Structure 1
Amino acid sequence: MSIQSIDVKYTAVATAEGGRDGRVASDDGKIDVVVNPPKELGGSGEGTNPEQLFAAGYSACFQGALGVVARKEKADISGSTVTARVGIGSTPEGGFGLKVALEAHIPNVDEATAKDLLEKAHQVCPYSNATRGNIEVSLGVA
């Protein structure tokens, strides 16, 4: 996979203090959250965590990509939702890695059409493009 040349239209900026057990804030003040590791990773679980933030961003972005594809395909995705499940765990090499499961509920199309829309959205979504070949991402229809 090669590095893409991108004509940047917007840049989000956030700063972390204290790593996984601290605080993250955006430069515009719209995000200012306490982050703590989940209890499963030995943390307090009191705040949010990077995996939840990644899941929120990926699900929103993928829903947007689904809308782009649906308009081109003239498919009705009204009432649809996309859920991202982001897992973190140990890799065989001794580090940590992520795994993502994306599940879409698209009530106004049949299962074959929904699967086709998901595959096409997976090619459009910036998060999918950024993670392709780096982490396991599965697609499913609810």
Structure 2
Amino acid sequence: MTEKLVFTGKTHNTSGRNGGTVSSDGTLDLKLPQPHPAAENLFGAAWSACYMGAIELAAQQRKVKLPAGPKVDTEIDLNVNDGSYFLRARMNVTLDGLDRDIAHEIIHAAHEICPYSKAVRGNIDVETNLV
């Protein structure tokens, strides 16, 4: 199998009271005066977007027509224990109108497909919940 680059996201970040981030393509331009909670929110937003695409791919692979687009509410917790910081995450997925067993199968398959989910596997406790 030959590797193929699909996309490279490029951002420029600055810190301080006037800190922020801007993407090279201009689709992202945010003021980020504090690294926390911006980092957790941005990570959750990026992961959710990727995960929704993985849900659509998992449904397509199973020849399941998704009802109106999936919704993902992601919660990223920043925790500290004995001075060591770590993350926990919950992916709360809504797939209205889909049989619950099929929906469960799709969201778990999506967690195996999503590059963000793969990147954190074994490093972050993650719950995938069908709501």
**1:74 to 1:133, Cα distance in 2 relative to 1, 3 A:** same
Distance (whole Å) between structure 2 residues aligned to residue 89 and residue 140 of structure 1: 21
Equivalent residue for 2:10, pick from 13, 24, 27: 13
Letter in 1 for 2:97: N
Corresponding position of 2:109: 120
| Residue pair 1:75, 1:109 contacting (<8 A) in 2 also | no
Corresponding position of 1:59: 48
Letter in 2 for 1:53: L
| Residue pair 1:114, 1:141 contacting (<8 A) in 2 also | yes
**1:35 matches 2:24:** no
Distance (whole Å) between structure 1 residues aligned to residue 98 and residue 3 of structure 2: 33
| Residue pair 2:22, 2:29 contacting (<8 A) in 1 also | yes
User: Alignment partner of 1:15: what SS?
Assistant: strand
Distance (whole Å) between structure 1 residues aligned to residue 21 and residue 130 of structure 2: 33
Equivalent residue for 1:139, pick from 121, 128, 131: 128
Query: Per-residue deviation at 1:138?
Result: 0.5
Runs of 5+ unmatched residues, structure 1? 42-47
**1:82 matches 2:72:** yes
Query: Per-residue deviation at 1:26?
Result: 1.1
**1:108 to 1:25, Cα distance in 2 relative to 1, 3 A:** same
Distance (whole Å) between structure 2 residues aligned to residue 71 and residue 29 of structure 1: 31
Distance (whole Å) between structure 1 residues aligned to residue 44 and residue 53 of structure 2: 14
Query: Per-residue deviation at 1:49?
Result: 0.8
Distance (whole Å) between structure 1 residues aligned to residue 18 and residue 77 of structure 2: 18
Distance (whole Å) between structure 2 residues aligned to residue 93 and residue 129 of structure 1: 27
Query: Per-residue deviation at 1:82?
Result: 1.4
Query: Per-residue deviation at 1:76?
Result: 2.5
After TM superposition, the score normalised by the length of structure 1 is 0.80
Q: Percent identity?
A: 29
Letter in 2 for 1:127: Y
Query: Per-residue deviation at 1:137?
Result: 0.9
